[in-house]
Structure 1
Amino acid sequence: PGPQGLYYCSVGGKNTHGRHIVEEHADMCLEAGINFEGINQEVACGQWEFQLFAKGAKKAGDEMWIARYLLDRLTENYGYYIEYHPKPIKGDWNGSGMHANFSDTTLRTCGDENTFNKVCEEFGKNIEKHISVYGAHNEQRLTGAHETQSITQFSYGVSDRGASIRIPIGTVEDGWKGRLEDRRPASNGDPYKISSVIISTTKAAYN
């Protein structure tokens, strides 16, 4: 394939590959009652993303595992398989993550920039605690390049795609009410373990 950059949110057979599978998977998830939010082709050739939304960490984990199961079963019909490795292609290619967008009542209602900063700073104190459950081989993806922060470093910022935690611009525009996005979890991560450590660290920030 050509260099990355041609494929992100692309259309047309030259740069878009696998749309029939991801759209069929979306339909399967919706029919199964999963709160399926959307799909888009990603930066690398043949790399796709789907988004789920669930209220509560347990439900989010349940729906992610079911969605993965449905996807893997679907690929049997086409003789394909899904590569969940966070760096499936070495070289100048983006890896594959499972970005975790999260909020709680405090973040959705506080209207206070300092509260968001406190939460982010607490995450920065617990790098190893998080990385240890964010997925295998993630060091190959979190290098500080390709829209990532280094696995040994921590940063956060508004709309910063290269940060460990991105503060969505919508959160700021809504008066510091909304969510945060931890961009470090890998595509092969266990959503139950990921949500558990996110909840633990967020609660610690309020103490």
Structure 2
Amino acid sequence: MAKIKLEYIWLDGYTPSAYLRSKTKIVDGDVSSFSLEDCDDWGFDGSSTKQAEGSSSDCVLKPVAIYPDGARENGFLVMSEVMLPDGTPHPSNARATISDDPGLWVGLEQEYFLYQDGRPLGWPENGFPEGQGKYYTGVGYRFVGDIAREIVEKHLDLCIYAGINHEGINAEVAKGQWEFQVFGKGAYKACDQIHVARYILLRLCEGYGVDVEWHCKPISGDWNGSGMHCNFSTDYMRETGGKEYFMKLMDAFEKYKDEHIAAYGPDNHLRLTGLHETQSIDKFSWGVADRGASIRVPHSFVKNDYKGYLEDRRPNSEGDPYAIVGRVQQTVTEVEEEFKK
């Protein structure tokens, strides 16, 4: 038996974007066989997280996924949903609003800026660095600095150790901007793992005196914002597809344009301007290999009789993956149910 450190992680009730919270529970157990089933529900003071009033402050943490914690001996990261004392989902619990369709495959591309002393890493104290162009997938101190590479490599290792399905990392278009990608089969998996990967990055950066800026447009002007492009496919899209189905799907995405934008993260009007590889927020378009479209269609999708996956480029870096994937799921399900009749 060992003393096992369980870091319960949840989303608080702040709006328009929730913050990650966590606290540690110590239990006795066998590390080699410890699993989600061994994690009990726990509680916290919701009056301190904008999730309850002080007169009735108890909220419940319900474990939903567990990951080995590479930063601690005998440690695990426990992603949790917030529940009310009666066992029903808390109003802030977006995860409880989506269904875990195993046929929905999701890949999320999380972009972010690393900040220190109130500015992106590598930026001069006054003014701006050299303009965009040389930083994307850049190599060398001039383009990526010193500690940024160390941070993203350590983050990658910690995520892989945890079992998070990272598909890659890279420096992004603006100096100090980076990206990691996570893929999962089922609506919950990629969403849970994005939140845990965010948590791991935030905690890692504490030791460097560095902040993570998730906002979609932290720097105004001629600089790319940060997105969280959502790549998605369903059983029907992968196995049947067809141009008629695809066109009906695009019609539905256009019909629900405003509903999608509402779910895709705050302040997206600052990012979706029609510039910097975006479509304007008030328009919907799709295009083959078009990075300025709302939905980018891979060449392979068209060549394969409109089968495969699609990329919605509108979700932003600060968005809640549960809300983003839930909105995509809702639109696609409506079309497929109608199309199969």
Q: TM-score, normalised by structure 2?
A: 0.59
Higher RCO (CA 8 Å, separation ≥ 6 residues) = 1
Which amino acid letter does the alignment assign opposite residue 41 of structure 1? A
Aligned: 1:204 with 2:334: yes
Aligned-CA RMSD value: 1.1
Aligned to 1:195: 325
Residue pairs, 1:108-147, within 5 angstroms: 108-147=238-277
Aligned: 1:100 with 2:230: yes
Report the Cα offset of residue 143 of structure 1: 0.5
1:26 corresponds to which of 153, 156, 177: 156
Residue pairs, 1:44-193, within 5 angstroms: 44-193=174-323
Instruction: Select between 110-119 and 134-143 the one with higher mean Cα deviation.
Output: 110-119
Q: Helix, strand or coil for the counterpart of 1:53?
A: strand
Q: Helix, strand or coil for the counterpart of 1:54?
A: strand
Report the Cα offset of residue 174 of structure 1: 3.5
Instruction: Select between 13-22 and 101-110 the one with higher mean Cα deviation.
Output: 13-22
CA displacement, residues 64-102 of structure 1 (integer Å, 9 cap, x when unaligned):
100000000010010001101100111001100000000
CA displacement, residues 10-51 of structure 1 (integer Å, 9 cap, x when unaligned):
111111231111111111100001111000111111111100
1:2 corresponds to which of 107, 122, 130: 130
Q: C-alpha distance in 2, partners of 1:149/1:115? A: 23
Q: C-alpha distance in 2, partners of 1:173/1:49? A: 29
1:16 corresponds to which of 123, 144, 152: 144
Higher Cα Rg, which structure? 2
Q: C-alpha distance in 1, partners of 2:180/2:320? A: 16
Q: C-alpha distance in 1, partners of 2:141/2:244? A: 47
5+ residue gaps, structure 1: none
Report the Cα offset of residue 173 of structure 1: 3.5
More strand by share: 2
Which amino acid letter does the alignment assign opposite residue 11 of structure 1? V
Q: Helix, strand or coil for the counterpart of 1:50?
A: strand
Q: Helix, strand or coil for the counterpart of 1:15?
A: helix
Aligned residues: 207
Q: C-alpha distance in 1, partners of 2:300/2:208? A: 39
Aligned to 2:82: none
Q: C-alpha distance in 2, partners of 1:46/1:11? A: 13
Q: Helix, strand or coil for the counterpart of 1:140?
A: helix
Report the Cα offset of residue 111 of structure 1: 4.5
Which amino acid letter does the alignment assign opposite residue 60 of structure 1? A
Q: C-alpha distance in 2, partners of 1:126/1:193? A: 14
Q: Helix, strand or coil for the counterpart of 2:311?
A: strand
Report the Cα offset of residue 176 of structure 1: 2.5
Q: C-alpha distance in 1, partners of 2:256/2:132? A: 33
Instruction: Select between 139-148 and 174-183 the one with higher mean Cα deviation.
Output: 174-183
Q: C-alpha distance in 1, partners of 2:332/2:226? A: 25
Report the Cα offset of residue 168 of structure 1: 1.5
